[in-house]
Amino acid sequence: MRVHRIALDESPNDCCQILFIGADNAHGRAAQLLEETRGRPVLTVTDLDEQPQGSVINFLVADNHVRFDISRPAAERNGLKLRAQLLAVARQATGR
């Protein structure tokens, strides 16, 4: 596995399997990056205040604990299958 930081003028390439978009580095590009990976087998992970359209997993802090939400439709659009065990421990598994 290799970690690569995407520059502001760069796009995720075809070898990207997991794309993390952090709140401190989103620079308003979250929607653009999520659209670029739409329909590709990429697990998109964010840590934004609200789960953006296209993000499969979004981490957040709730009641002083790190939690995560899952968007099943986003996973399906990207051709990803999520295990029931992961869905069971998510704070919510939404339909958006």
For the stretch 85-96, pLDDT in tens is 999 999 988 765
Strand 57-62 and strand 43-46: the pairing is parallel
Would residue 48 count as lying in a domain?
yes
Would residue 9 count as lying in a domain?
no
DSSP state letter for 24: T
Confirm if 21 and 59 have CB atoms less than 8 A apart: no
For the stretch 47-86, pLDDT in tens is 988 888 899 999 999 899 999 999 999 999 999 999 999 9
Q: Where are the alpha helices (DSSP H) in the chain?
A: 30-37, 72-77, 84-89
* pTM strictly above 0.85: yes
Would residue 37 count as lying in a domain?
yes
Confirm if 60 and 47 have CB atoms less than 8 A apart: yes
Q: How many domains does the chain have?
A: 1
- Token digits for 36? 């670029």
Residue 85 is part of which domain span? 18-94
Residue 74 belongs to a domain with what CATH number?
3.40.50.2300
